[in-house]
Amino acid sequence: MNGSAPGRRRARAACAGLLALAASALAACAPSTSGEAGGASPLPSASVEDAASFKLDDLIAAAKKEGSVLAYDGSGDVKDVAEAFAKKYGIKAEGVKSKAAATAEKMTRESQAKNVTIDVNLFEDGPMLVGQLLPQRIVRTWIPPDLAPDIAEGDRNPLMMLMKAYVFVYNPKLSPNGCPVKNLWELTDPAWKGKVLLQDPLGKEVFTQWFTQLADHGTDKLTAAYDALGKGKLQLSEKDPAHEWVKRFAKNSPVLTTEDEDVATGVAAPNQTKQTLGLMSIAKFRDVEQKGFHMKVCEGLAPWTGFAYPKYATIATGSKHPNAAKLFVHFVLEKEGFALESGSGGVSGNKKVGKSPNNPPGLADWDNQLFRFVPGTMTDDFRERQDIKDFWRVNHR
């Protein structure tokens, strides 16, 4: 003890010193506020080819020569789309359901390896597209020239194939008099603690994009909705009403799942006995009857019953079947492809095709019932993504 004590003490002091040094070095690594290196590379422009020289038949012929096409999509509908595509054009087509992040990862790898198998990417994570995949030239936008006149200017880069929606859903069997909630802010009340189900926003980028979009474009309506509650003025503890709502919502212990399927089952399965509310894709209304689920969109929820988000169609830059890929994009922008992707509602990016008639019960007016993403601020969404995730992470109970 006595002999080695000074040495040991010195070693301990040195250790402590090193640790302190490391800690301060780490502190110095905090994010720079200057942001000198700027954002990612700029978004490549997307222009329409000369419509006059474009002939669909030539494209079909070229596509047939290539023989096959592989499409990735966040929704399982792509299987049916691929089947229909194959039937129509006689080109072997395969559709694979894959989560957005996984698809992005895979396409990045394939592009690096110059071994591209995924030809078409039907992708709902716009910020990722705009922030990474397009500027890194892993995918590119191709706008069918013959359909271009019917595609709004704002939906062209990246090319929106359709809009889908996430909506709040309740169980009409347990609440026959309509949706038990009238205002989004009610979901932050103790009464709804632990009774709202949704996919974990940390794993579902559409949600984080919804949060950032709300902050950029939805604060007025959120404030108005709070005023309508009759609880007086909204007291902000965060920078804007959107963050305030997200914080209060996160703190109210929403139930997180990995799949929409679990949200639907949790809300609407025949043997459920407690009224809960779920935020889920309208696609879940697909096989409601077969499973005996009782579910209905929460009509009259102020300010919105949910949000509409775009899904984009892009082609892999290094695709070995560029023409087949183009034809596939063309196909999903047409009525036939759209119908298969919107079995339970949606709006096509092609104005001529328009809205799907198959809206789920309780969702009639897309324009007024739903919060709609503004495509122009997707770069901001991408930049703020990590912050909003951290924000959620810190606040979720």
**Range 103-142, binding another protein (CB under 8 A):** 104-105, 109-110, 112-115, 117-118, 131-132, 136
**Which residue in 60, 63, 70, 242 binds another protein (CB under 8 A)?**
70
With contact defined as beta carbons under 8 Å apart, do 363 and 284 qualify?
no
CA separation (Å) from 182 to 94, 170, 176, 354?
A: 43, 12, 15, 29
Helices marked H in 192-270 — which ranges?
A: 205-217, 219-228, 241-251, 260-268
Give the contact letters, 288-317, x = binds to another protein (CB under 8 A), - = no. Answer: -xxxx-------------------------
Rounded to a whole number of angstroms, the minimum distance from the CB of residue 389 to another protein is 7
Residue 62 makes contact with another protein by CB under 8 A: no
Rounded to a whole number of angstroms, the minimum distance from the CB of residue 390 to another protein is 5
377 φψ region: left (φ > 0), alpha (ψ -120 to 50), beta (else): alpha
Residue 180 makes contact with another protein by CB under 8 A: no
Residue 344 makes contact with another protein by CB under 8 A: no
Give the span between the Cα atoms of 307 and 318, in whole angstroms.
Answer: 34
Binding to another protein (CB under 8 A): which residues in 196-225? 197, 200, 202-203
| Number of residues engaging another protein in binding (CB under 8 A) | 80
Give the span between the Cα atoms of 361 and 294, in whole angstroms.
Answer: 11
Return the number of the residue (36 or 153) whose C-beta is nearest another protein: 36
Give the span between the Cα atoms of 240 and 40, in whole angstroms.
Answer: 27
Residue 40 makes contact with another protein by CB under 8 A: yes
With contact defined as beta carbons under 8 Å apart, do 346 and 354 qualify?
no
Return the number of the residue (220 or 390) whose C-beta is nearest another protein: 390
**Which residue in 3, 25, 153, 232 binds another protein (CB under 8 A)?**
25
Residue 397 makes contact with another protein by CB under 8 A: yes
Residue 270 makes contact with another protein by CB under 8 A: yes
Q: Which burial class, exposed, middle or buried, applies to 317 when counting CB atoms under 10 A from its CB (0-12, 13-18, 19+)?
A: middle
Give the span between the Cα atoms of 199 and 205, in whole angstroms.
Answer: 10
**Which residue in 17, 42, 76, 361 binds another protein (CB under 8 A)?**
76
Give the span between the Cα atoms of 300 and 230, in whole angstroms.
Answer: 17
How remote is the C-alpha of 133 from its chain's centroid?
15
Give the span between the Cα atoms of 25 and 178, in whole angstroms.
Answer: 58
Binding to another protein (CB under 8 A): which residues in 228-267? 255-259, 261-267
Residue 190 makes contact with another protein by CB under 8 A: no
Residue 339 makes contact with another protein by CB under 8 A: no
Return the number of the residue (149 or 361) whose C-beta is nearest another protein: 361
Return the number of the residue (135 or 146) whose C-beta is nearest another protein: 135
Residue 394 makes contact with another protein by CB under 8 A: yes
